[in-house]
Amino acid sequence: MLYVIKMGWDEGGDTGRVDAVLAGALAGVEYREISDLEAFVRFFPDPAEEKPAERRPVLFVVNLARGGISVGYARFIAYISQHPHCLENCVGSVVVDGAEELFTKKAGREMIFMANRSGCGFPGAPLVEATGSLYNFNLRAKLQGIANLRAYENAVKKLVEALLAFQGAPAPADGRHRIALFHASNRKTSNTLLLWSMVRDAIGDAAILREVSLRNGSVVDCRGCSYEACLHFGEKGECFYGGTLVKEGYPAIRESDTLVFCCPNYNDAVSANIMAFFNRMTALFRSDFREFAKKRVFALVVSGYSGGDIVAEQVIDALNCNKHFILPPHFALMETANDPGSILACEGIEQRAGDMARRIVEIG
Ligand SMILES: Cc1cc2nc3c(=O)[nH]c(=O)nc-3n(C[C@H](O)[C@H](O)[C@H](O)COP(=O)(O)O)c2cc1C
């Protein structure tokens, strides 16, 4: 049974387009529609003990009125955010239909972030956005030789099919995950690397670990090659620029089923080396995207002051939405610590690092 959560239908805006797209995508699907918060609370209560044993697929649909602010959507988000276990054992996908050209990505990645924080996992590529003009479907429409509206309909239909088919990450053959940890930090001073060492100690030998420093050598951002050139390099396991990202980063992605990223907050974003790696994964993604969709991604985010949520959303956007990695429930551990070493003084940090370690080694 699919749960379809409709948010923002009560704002007086036009819902005709998204209603028609949903009707097409849900034809023949057994589903329960929920459009008021009271019903949502009944089906998705907190605390976690009440969670049903069976994994529940949930399609979150946001109708975003002009201006990008929806009070109806905000009511749902407030409940989800304040009940950090209400979506345990759920897997989700998101549709955002906007009245204008802006705000759909912002709402989509926020929806994923909030639901994930409350226990919902997401398969790769879990977001379909429709901007007011449907301009964002230009390329897909051209490739399929159809109108933009048809491309939108097809995308939502495929999204629902993929959600219903999603079984989670495949179990590792020998019972232990192969984990690659990526960082670009200085071991002597980095709080984020200290946080990783706590998580790593808690993992112990329950997984096979490999650490990759993206600081070695000079890291160059994506050159923006043509699609053909990028695919050509990717098929050879390369990228136009070589270096650490290709020599160490690519094999680590290929040979691991789980990726963990150390993400210190630099100007409310992941640091430049980490971002360059995200961008330059594109060559590998072009040839290996089916493999990417079987791997899980986690993030350790440390901010000196604030903004960890923005950094975590950036990781969701780049790696789950764009690069199709699986987002397991509670994928990010977000902490605040500024002075070198001060993360060790955060209250309850060992418990949270241990919980993160358990989520990372968990199978199924
Ligand atoms: C270039 C730079 C930019 C930073 N920008 C922010 C920021 O925008 N917001 C914030 O909360 N902390 C910011 N910080 C502080 C780091 O997030 C903080 O030092 C934290 O402990 C994580 O970094 P670390 O793993 O290198 O120790 C910045 C630090 C640096 C070096």
Atom of ligand 1 nearest to the CA of 343: 21
The residues near 227 (Cβ < 8 Å, ≥ 6 apart) are: 286
156 & 225 share domain: no
**pLDDT, tens digit (0-9, with 9 covering 90-100), for 16-48:** 999 999 999 999 999 999 999 999 999 999 876
So what's the pLDDT on residue 83?
A: 96
pLDDT (average), residues 294-314:
98
**pLDDT, tens digit (0-9, with 9 covering 90-100), for 137-150:** 999 999 999 999 99
Atom of ligand 1 nearest to the CA of 194: 25
What distance in Å separates the CA atoms of residue 78 and residue 201, rounded to the nearest whole number? 35
Q: Ligand 1 pocket: which of 265, 338, 346 to mutate (most atoms <8 Å of CB)?
A: 265
89 & 191 share domain: no
Tokens of 210: 């490999």
pLDDT (average), residues 207-232:
87
pTM: 0.96
CA-nearest residue for atom 26, ligand 1, is 190
Per-residue H/E/C for the chain: CEEEEEECCCCCCCCHHHHHHHHHHHCCCCEEEECCHHHHHHHCCCCHHHCCCCCEEEEEEEEECCCCCCHHHHHHHHHHHHCCCCCCCEEEEEEEEECCCCCHHHHHHHHHHHHHHCCEEECCCCEEEECCCCHHHHHHHHHHCCCHHHHHHHHHHHHHHHHHHCCCCCCCCCCCCEEEEEECCCCCCCHHHHHHHHHHHHHCCCCEEEEEECCCCCCCCCCCCCHHHHHHHHHCCCCCCCCHHHHHHHHHHHCCCEEEEEEECCCCCCCHHHHHHHHHCHHHHHHHHHHHCCCEEEEEEEECCCCHHHHHHHHHHHHHHHCCCEECCCCEEEEECCCCCHHHHCCCHHHHHHHHHHHHHCCC
Q: How many CB atoms lie within 10 A of CB 82?
A: 10
Atom of ligand 1 nearest to the CA of 262: 25
pLDDT (average), residues 259-278:
96
329 & 187 share domain: yes
CATH of the domain at 32: 3.40.50.360
**pLDDT, tens digit (0-9, with 9 covering 90-100), for 306-316:** 999 999 999 99
Overall number of domains in the chain: 2
223 & 327 share domain: yes
So what's the pLDDT on residue 47?
A: 76
**Which of these three, 141, 165, 189, is where a domain ends?**
165
Residue 239 has pLDDT above 70, yes or no: yes
Parent domain of 192:
178-361
Is position 172 within any domain? no
CA 339 from chain center: how many Å?
Answer: 29
What residues line ligand 1, using a CB cutoff of 6 Å? 185, 189-192, 264-268, 302-307, 337-338
Q: Ligand 1 pocket: which of 267, 306, 333, 335 to mutate (most atoms <8 Å of CB)?
A: 267
Q: Residue 79: pLDDT band by 50, 70, 90 thresholds?
A: very high
145 & 219 share domain: no
Q: Ligand 1 centroid vs 264 CA: distance in angstroms?
A: 6
56 & 188 share domain: no
The percent of residues in the chain predicted with pLDDT above 90, rounded, is 84
So what's the pLDDT on residue 50?
A: 61
CA-nearest residue for atom 31, ligand 1, is 266
Q: Ligand 1 pocket: which of 303, 314, 342, 343 to mutate (most atoms <8 Å of CB)?
A: 303
